[in-house]
Each structure stands twice: as C-alpha cells, then as structure tokens.
A and B are shown apart, each in its own frame.
Chain A
Amino acid sequence: MTDEVLLQLLLTVAAALVGTGVFGALSQQSIVMVMMGIELVVNGVLLGGVAAWYFLAPRADAQVLIVVALVVMAVEMVMGFAATIAIYRARQVDMVDMATELNG
C-alpha cells in the first residue's frame, strides 16, 4: 500500500468520525449527548492532524494543532457542563428543545 492511499484511508476514517459526530450533535435532544457528538467531531480532527503530521509534513505545526484541538475539547467540556448545570438550576431543563429563552 502506498503512503498516499494510507493517508487517504486514514483521512476517510477521520471524515467518518466527523460525519458521525455531526449526526449526533444535530439529532440528540439531551445536552450531554450533543456534547458527545461535538467530541467525536474533534476526535476526527485529531486523527486528521496526526495523519497530516506523519504523511505530509512532520513539522511541529501539526503537533501544536493537535494540542490546540485537545484544549478545545477541554474547554468545550467545561463550558458545556457549566451551561447544563446553570440551565438546569434555573429551569430544570436538560434538553435542547426546552431551552427556548431566546425565541422571539
């Protein structure tokens, strides 16, 4: 198997992870499950970054990108849980369909 085909296979896997994550984030009603979908999208980004580092340009850029993706995930978790707790405290809401404060 040539390097290019292997790169394409790994990127296809990354695309599948992103697609699954998008499906989950859009279809789930529970806020926590929506966050799982977003995590899966970032998981695909991690794989894409690693594949790019190994097969295209083994420089520090890709590694720093992966570190930033990990940080993005941590920030997403913290803010997601904090928002979930805040909205649950205020209105006992744990589903995205019920969070309608900003409806005009």
Chain B
Amino acid sequence: MNDVVAVVGVSLGIVAVVLGVAVFVVDSMARATFALLGSFLAIAGIMLVLDLPYLALVTALMMTMEMAVMAVFMIMFMMNPAGLMPMTMVHNARGSAGAGLGVFAVLAAGVWLVDWPTRSGTAPADATVQLGEAIMGQYMLVMILVGVGLFATILSGTVLATGRGRYDRFGPDLRRSRPTDPVPGGLPR
C-alpha cells in the first residue's frame, strides 16, 4: 500500500509541477488554463491516493469549473489568446525567477532539514465522516465565517463587476415598469 502511495504520489507530483511550469511557458492561453487545471487534477489524484476522496473530488469539481470560467476570462482579456503569434508578456523576468527559486530553495531546505515527527494518532476509518463531524461540530465557527465571507465576496464581486445601476435599468426617474437590459432574461418582470 505504501509503495503505491509512493509511486503514484511522487509521479503525480512531478506531473503537477511540470504542468504548473507549463502554465507560464506555453503561448496559447487556452493551453495555459488547462495546464493549470491538469496541475490541480494531479493534486486531486494525490489526495485520492492518500485516502481523502471527498476533498479530492471536491477539488477536482471546483477547479474544473473555476478553470472553465478562467478560460473565458483569459480569452476575453488577452491580446493573443490562441498563441498563434508568439509574444511575451512578462516584466522583471529575472528578478521574478530569482524570487521563485529563492522561495523554493528556502522551503525545500526547511523540508529536508527539519526532523519530522512520526504520525500521531491513527487515520480515521472514513475521512469524509471526520471532516463532516468537524465542520458541523468543533469547527462550525470556521464554516460559518467561511459562509459569511463567501456571501460578502459574492456581493462585492457583483458590485465591482457590474457596469449598470438601477438608473440605467429603470430610467432617470426610476419609473420604467420593465428594465432595459442588454440580455432580457427569461422571467416576465
């Protein structure tokens, strides 16, 4: 069992890093986005091997949707989305590479120098139950705060992104009975 974890874990880890580097190397924005998705899926695969099926599947699910939306934004905002005419859009590449390598060096040094303790406690029979009981019990406050935080994010994100207010929709005196929207929507209002 441990050999399986070792082989699959390390090879998926290498895949994740290679795809992570590919994000900043490839010309095509679609390829960059889906390289990042591949990196996430590799990490999700490691989670699956390490007996965390729920978190693995939720990561895969969430990241796929995020990256699908990300692809739309990439195509929308980048000058050269398909990478048909290669161009570089970087600044301070050398300094950034130094910073990246420095961060990696310090973290990796820490990883190999620290005397790691052995596992304390035993793995639960069912990690999903463990997480469920935690967020509905001892860690409920965390989940409540996460919920409030996400709600605030939805509101502020909408406020930031929307370009039209109620005066645009209902007229300067707010008298219009039906809003004039660029996309009408499906409900009679």
Contact = CB atoms under 8 A, between A and B. Distances in A.
10 tightest CB-CB pairs across the interface, nearest first? Answer: A23-B100, A19-B104, A60-B134, A13-B13, A27-B96, A15-B107, A26-B96, A82-B160, A82-B157, A58-B123
A29 B43 contact: no
Interface in A39-90: 39-40, 43, 46-47, 50-51, 53-60, 63-64, 66-68, 70-71, 73-75, 77-79, 81-86, 88-89
Q: Which of B20, B50, B120, B122 has the most CB of A within 10 A?
A: B20
Interface of B: 2-3, 5-6, 9-10, 13-14, 16-17, 20-21, 23-24, 32-33, 36, 39-40, 43, 46-47, 50-52, 55, 58-59, 62-63, 66, 69-70, 73-74, 77-78, 89-93, 95-97, 99-101, 103-104, 107-108, 111-112, 116-124, 127, 130-131, 133-135, 138-139, 142, 146, 149-150, 153-154, 156-161, 163
Given A83-B160, A94-B77, A40 B104 contact: no
Nearest to B92: A27
Interface string A6-25: 11111111111111111110
Nearest to A21: B20
Nearest to B134: A60
Interface residues of A, number: 72
Contacts of B142: 64, 68
B161 A85 contact: yes
Contacts of B66: 39, 73-74, 77
A8 B112 contact: yes
A4 B116 contact: yes
A58 B13 contact: no
A97 B73 CA distance: 19
Interface string A31-45: 111011101100100
A101 interface: no
Given A36-B23, A56-B119, A79-B156, A84 B73 contact: yes
A10 B160 contact: no
Contact of B78 (A12, A30, A67): A30
A47 B119 contact: no
Contacts of B47: 46, 50
Contact of A32 (B73, B91, B124, B159): B73
